[in-house]
C-alpha cells in the first residue's frame, strides 16, 4: 500500500470512509467472492468425464449445459448488451447468437467447457478491473421483441454474479447427489491440487 494514498472523509452518518487518490479504482474488490466461484469451477472441470458431464440438473439440463450457460451468459450480457470487447476470444464469438446449451444433441467436453469459462471470465475480470464505481450507473438498453429494457452496469454485474453462483450451486448439488465432490467455493481445495 506504499504506492497508494488514502484520505478519509466523514460520511453523512459520521463514520469514516476511505477514498483512493491515485487513479480510478476498479470495482473488483467489491466482487471478491465471485472469483472464488470461478476458481472452483476451473479446478473441478478437468476431473469431470463425459458421464459426469451428462448428469442432469433439476431443470433437466446436463452439467455440460449448465456450465455452457454460465459462460454464454457472461458473453451475452457483457459483450452483447453492454458492448464490451472480447467475444471473439471466447467460445461464443457472436454474443447475441446461440450458445452450446441451445444444441443439446452436441455435448461438450470438460476441455471445451474449461475454455468457455476461462475465456468468458477474462472479460468479466477486465470489466471488474476497468470499471469504476462511478461507471456502475451507466444505462444500456436491451430490446426483446417490442419491449425495451434498461440495465445498468451494476444490475448486470449483480445478475451475472448471482447467475454464476446459482448454476455452480446447481452443478454442485447434482454432483453431490451422485456421490461426487462438490464445487463449493468455500471449501478448501483438495490436497491433490
Q: What per-residue confidence (pLDDT) applies to 189?
A: 61
Do the beta carbons of residue 65 and residue 104 sit within 8 Å? yes
For the chain, what is the largest distance between any 2 Cα atoms, rounded to a whole number of angstroms?
A: 59
Count of residues for the chain? 193
Reference 116, options 80, 97, 79, 90; nearest CA is: 90
User: pLDDT tens digits, the chain, 193 residues: what are they?
Assistant: 333 333 344 444 444 344 444 456 799 999 988 999 999 999 999 999 999 999 997 778 999 999 999 999 999 999 999 999 999 999 999 999 999 999 999 999 999 999 999 999 999 999 999 999 999 999 999 998 999 999 999 999 999 999 999 999 999 999 999 999 988 877 776 555 4
Do the beta carbons of residue 79 and residue 123 sit within 8 Å? yes
Residue with cell 478519509: 8
> Which neighbouring-strand residues pair with 8?
18
DSSP letter at 94? S
Residue 119 sits at the vertex; the CA angle it makes with 118 and 120, to the nearest 5 degrees, is 95
DSSP letter at 108? -
Do the beta carbons of residue 180 and residue 32 sit within 8 Å? no
And the C-alpha cell for 84? 464490451
b/e map of 64-95 (b: 16 or more CB within 10 Å)?
bbbbbbbbbbbbbbbbbbbebebbeebbbeeb
* Topology adopted by domain 24-177: 1.20.120
pTM for the complete prediction?
Answer: 0.84
Amino acid at each position: 500500500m506504499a504506492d497508494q494514498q488514502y484520505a478519509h472523509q466523514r460520511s453523512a452518518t459520521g463514520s469514516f470512509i476511505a477514498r483512493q487518490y491515485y487513479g480510478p479504482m476498479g470495482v473488483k474488490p467489491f466482487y471478491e467472492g465471485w472469483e472464488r466461484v470461478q476458481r472452483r469451477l476451473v479446478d473441478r472441470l478437468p476431473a469431470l468425464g463425459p458421464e459426469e458431464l451428462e448428469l442432469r440438473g433439476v431443470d433437466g439440463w446436463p452439467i455440460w449445459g449448465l456450465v455452457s450457460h454460465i459462460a454464454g451468459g457472461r458473453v451475452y450480457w457483457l459483450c452483447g448488451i453492454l458492448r464490451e470487447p472480447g467475444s471473439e476470444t471466447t467460445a461464443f464469438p457472436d454474443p447475441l447468437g446461440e450458445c452450446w446449451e441451445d444444441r443439446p444433441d452436441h455435448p461438450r467436453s470438460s476441455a471445451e467447457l474449461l475454455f468457455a469459462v476461462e475465456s468468458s471470465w477474462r472479460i468479466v475480470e477486465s470489466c471488474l478491473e476497468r470499471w469504476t464505481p462511478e461507471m456502475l450507473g451507466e444505462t444500456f438498453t436491451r430490446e426483446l421483441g417490442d419491449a425495451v429494457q434498461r440495465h445498468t452496469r451494476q444490475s448486470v454485474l449483480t445478475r451475472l454474479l448471482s447467475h454464476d453462483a446459482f448454476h455452480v450451486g446447481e452443478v454442485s448439488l447434482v454432483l453431490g447427489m451422485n456421490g461426487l465432490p462438490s464445487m463449493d467455493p468455500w471449501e478448501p481445495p483438495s490436497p491433490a491440487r
